[in-house]
Amino acid sequence: MKKEIKFSLVYRDMWQSSGKYQPRIDQLQRIAPLIVEMGCFARVETNGGAFEQVNLLYGENPNHAVRAFTKPFREAGIQTHMLDRALNGLRMYPVPSDVRRLMYQVKHAQGVDITRIFCGLNDTRNILPSIGYALEAGMIPQAALCITSSPVHTVEYYTRVADRLIEAGAPEICLKDMAGIGRPATLGRLVKAIKERHPEVIIQYHGHSGPGLSMASILEVCENGADIIDVAMEPLSWGKVHPDVISVQAMLRDAGFRVPDINMKAYMQTRALTQEFIDDFLGYFIDPTNKHASSLLLKCGLPGGMMGSMMADLKGVHAGINLILRGKNQPELSLDDLVIMLFDEVEYVWPKLGYPPLVTPFSQYVKNVALMNLMQQVKGEERWTMIDNHTWDMILGKSGRLPGELAPEIVALAKEKGYTFVDTDPQLNYPDALADYRKEMAENGWEPGADDEELFELAMHDRQYRDYKSGVAKERFESELQRAKDAAMAKNGYSEEEIKKLKRAKADPIVAPANGQVLWEVSVEGPSVAPFVGAKLQHDQVFCYLSTPWGEYEKIYTGFTGRVVEICAPQGTVVSKGDVIAYIQRSDIYA
């Protein structure tokens, strides 16, 4: 019998690789005990990256979510782990060092055991401070190698990076194969090389299904000494996500490895509950293409989780591109034509930008440059004329050291623009900021929270946190959800009038108490609630005004708490007594 292989359920990343949103706190609390009952997971990924921003986006406190989700696993002796972006912390752009240090103290206090630290450039200068901060806070720092396939990303290259990270105190290494394009044999050689030099180091493999190499990669890394494999489970496994635990278990057991048993009753319950979350509201934000594997990912190297946003980008420019082509009397392009053209352009752009591994945020940068190049070429203009500031920061070295050489035309373009290349520690560009955030919290009367966790959220996600505190985030999300529901109904064949009827059936009408003209703003009284679908109203709130024939302004109150689902009488509409002005659905229709 071969060595024991442990499994880690990447429950957070399953959702992130499928769509835009994550489960709510109440859903996480329901699913955690069933994951425990499955009995096959040594670890569960509970938070990190976009996970906590998502909580804020729909008006939920991410600190409460992390504490609630980690608690059952800790009590069951299952380790919890998070994903962090080194210099970028939990966001898409760099973080001051004092905020980075606080992150590990907060996450350890919230019950997270392990932090998986990655830099999209594999620049050890960005990862090493995080290793120190994690050890200082009592967390296990798992240093990640962002896996890709290029002339510069060799086994020797990755082994040198791993040596440096282990030397700095990382007791674990993760092979983060974020696009699933790591070649199985190469990954096996890499694991063997690290294990031969550092036999005591734990190696965990994280591979997305994507182009379909992941099962072969899992077998290769296990044959060469890997210890833990990240897995998913239905209904969110495969596609652009990760292999399912059942299939991985069967393959490794047949190969002679010792693997844990799966409580299939608990698996089916967990599967059903996850599907319930999809049906509840999360499915409205899952791109169907993320359920499909695609060999095309091998060509461009983009991570599968980006396919949804990339397709949205292409759909957004499709009509504009064809408009330009029609104006030139050239053949129009299908969406499939554009996909292949964009993949070809990514393949062209990537080496010229120094082969940054295509993971957040650098995958977005490379894709954006390729898309802009594509647009410019359709117009008959030159490449490289539409590069945003964040991408220039990467090119100039402000985010870290690129693994490959920049193309001469990119260097020349930077010099032409008067830009300066740098090779200093990227963290030096971002001074400490916690004192400013403490001052803002005090001025607003906000509590810093247990273990300064609320201070941390403001400092890490300042804009989203302010929107969360003001209630704007929840308002925005609920309006977005209603639009998504309406779009889904329309896609399923419901007419606009049928959708209105269904929404009205669940709502109460606001009727005109007399003849008059509907006004949404009266200068002498001040504005009423903005008349838009999705607006939340309180029971004692002025909904609108009615200008009566006898020259008075009559206030019309909602009378109950709810949300606007339809405006029937826009500004200035003349109504008769009993006419419906709007329909409002009582209480919180999205809970």
pLDDT grade, residue 570 (50/70/90)? confident
| 303 and 382 assigned to the same domain | yes
Domain final residue pick, 358, 386, 414:
386
Mean residue pLDDT of the chain comes to 90
Position 283 scores a pLDDT of 93
Q: What is the mean pLDDT of residues 214-227?
A: 98
Residue 94 lies in a domain: no
| 282 and 320 assigned to the same domain | no
**CB-based burial of residue 91 (10 Å sphere; 0-12 exposed, 13-18 middle, 19+ buried)?**
buried
CA dihedral 504, 507, 511, 517 (to 10 degrees): -70
**Pair 382, 376: CB distance under 8 Å:** yes
- Select the more confidently predicted residue: 457 or 287: 457
| 34 and 68 assigned to the same domain | yes
Q: Give first-to-last CA distance, the chain, whole Å.
A: 51
Segment holding 501, helix H or strand E: helix 496-505
- Select the more confidently predicted residue: 201 or 529: 201
| 560 and 528 assigned to the same domain | yes
Answer positive or negative: Cα dihedral of 7, 12, 15, 18: negative
**3-class SS letters over 196-259:** HHCCCCEEEEEECCCCCCHHHHHHHHHHCCCCEEEEECCCCCCCCCCCEHHHHHHHHHHCCCEC
Q: What is the mean pLDDT of residues 165-186?
A: 96
Q: Is the pLDDT of residue 197 over 90?
A: yes
Domain final residue pick, 357, 386, 415:
386
Position 41 scores a pLDDT of 98
Q: Is the pLDDT of residue 527 over 80?
A: no
Q: What is the mean pLDDT of residues 28-34?
A: 97
Position 426 scores a pLDDT of 94
165: Cβ contacts below 8 Å, ≥ 6 apart: 124, 127, 128, 131, 143, 173
430: Cβ contacts below 8 Å, ≥ 6 apart: 87, 94, 95, 96, 97
152: Cβ contacts below 8 Å, ≥ 6 apart: 355, 403, 404
How confident is the model over 386-417, as pLDDT tens digits? 898 889 999 999 999 999 999 999 999 999 99
* Lowest mean pLDDT segment, chosen from 8-12, 282-286, 375-379: 375-379
Please report, rounded to a whole number, the percentage of residues in the chain having pLDDT higher than 70. 96
Q: Is the pLDDT of residue 92 over 60?
A: yes
Position 525 scores a pLDDT of 46
CA dihedral 32, 36, 42, 48 (to 10 degrees): 0
Position 522 scores a pLDDT of 53
| 516 and 571 assigned to the same domain | yes
CA dihedral 431, 437, 443, 447 (to 10 degrees): -160
List the domain range (segments joined by +) for residue 279.
1-6+18-81+256-286
Give Cα separations from 11 to 16, 292, 313, 466, 579 (angstroms). 9, 19, 27, 28, 50
**CB-based burial of residue 572 (10 Å sphere; 0-12 exposed, 13-18 middle, 19+ buried)?**
exposed
Q: What is the mean pLDDT of residues 292-314?
A: 76
pLDDT grade, residue 379 (50/70/90)? confident
- Select the more confidently predicted residue: 143 or 511: 143
**DSSP category for residue 59:** T
| 282 and 302 assigned to the same domain | no
Domain final residue pick, 355, 386, 417:
386
Structural tokens at position 279: 């049906």
Q: What is the mean pLDDT of residues 18-27?
A: 91
| 511 and 565 assigned to the same domain | yes
Considering 19-23, 279-283, 441-445, 529-533, the range whose residues carry the highest mean pLDDT is: 441-445
Dihedral pair phi/psi, residue 485, rounded to 5°: -65, -45
Residue 536 lies in a domain: yes
Q: Is the pLDDT of residue 561 over 90?
A: no
Helix (H, G, I), strand (E, B) or coil at 156: helix
Helix (H, G, I), strand (E, B) or coil at 289: helix
Q: Is the pLDDT of residue 222 over 70?
A: yes
Position 489 scores a pLDDT of 81
**Pair 235, 211: CB distance under 8 Å:** no
**Pair 386, 366: CB distance under 8 Å:** no
Q: DSSP strand E in 273-367: where?
A: none
| 581 and 510 assigned to the same domain | yes
pLDDT grade, residue 523 (50/70/90)? very low
**Pair 109, 68: CB distance under 8 Å:** no
Give the CATH number, domain containing residue 554: 2.40.50.100
Q: What is the mean pLDDT of residues 60-69?
A: 96
Q: What is the mean pLDDT of residues 265-271?
A: 98
Considering 51-55, 86-90, 558-562, 566-570, the range whose residues carry the highest mean pLDDT is: 86-90
Return the closest-CA partner of residue 371 out of 322, 457, 313: 313
Q: What is the mean pLDDT of residues 55-82?
A: 95
Q: What angle do CA 74, 76, 80 make, to 5 degrees?
A: 35
**DSSP category for residue 152:** S
Give Cα separations from 70 to 113, 266, 370 (angstroms). 9, 19, 40
Give Cα separations from 345 to 277, 376, 383, 572 (angstroms). 37, 12, 10, 52
| 359 and 381 assigned to the same domain | yes
What does the alpha-carbon distance between residue 230 and residue 172 come to, in Å, rounded to a whole number? 14
Q: Which residue has the tokens 């220039």?
A: 392
72: Cβ contacts below 8 Å, ≥ 6 apart: 32, 33, 36
How confident is the model over 420-439, as pLDDT tens digits? 999 999 999 899 999 999 99
| 1 and 52 assigned to the same domain | yes
* Lowest mean pLDDT segment, chosen from 109-118, 274-283, 288-297: 288-297
Helix (H, G, I), strand (E, B) or coil at 190: helix
- Taking phi over 0 as left and psi of -120 to 50 as alpha, with beta for the rest, 128 belongs to alpha
**Pair 170, 134: CB distance under 8 Å:** no
Q: What is the mean pLDDT of residues 302-331?
A: 78
Segment holding 82, helix H or strand E: strand 79-84
How confident is the model over 488-497, as pLDDT tens digits? 888 777 777 7
Structural tokens at position 116: 């998986």
| 346 and 318 assigned to the same domain | yes
Please report, rounded to a whole number, the percentage of residues in the chain having pLDDT higher than 90. 62
Residue 217 lies in a domain: no
Residue 251 lies in a domain: no
Position 374 scores a pLDDT of 87
Residue 571 lies in a domain: yes
* Distance from the Cα of residue 176 to its chain's centroid: 16
How confident is the model over 100-158, as pLDDT tens digits? 999 999 999 999 999 999 999 999 999 999 999 999 999 999 999 999 999 999 999 99
**Pair 222, 252: CB distance under 8 Å:** yes
- Total number of domains in the chain: 3
Return the closest-CA partner of residue 293 out of 381, 372, 214, 197: 214
Residue 281 lies in a domain: yes
Q: What angle do CA 478, 311, 299 make, to 5 degrees?
A: 145
Return the closest-CA partner of residue 203 out of 193, 211, 213, 195: 195
pLDDT grade, residue 457 (50/70/90)? very high
Structural tokens at position 311: 């397709």
| 282 and 309 assigned to the same domain | no
pLDDT grade, residue 236 (50/70/90)? very high
Q: Is the pLDDT of residue 310 over 80?
A: no
pLDDT grade, residue 201 (50/70/90)? very high
pLDDT grade, residue 77 (50/70/90)? very high
Residue 447 lies in a domain: no
Q: What is the largest CA-CA distance in the chain?
A: 93
Position 526 scores a pLDDT of 44
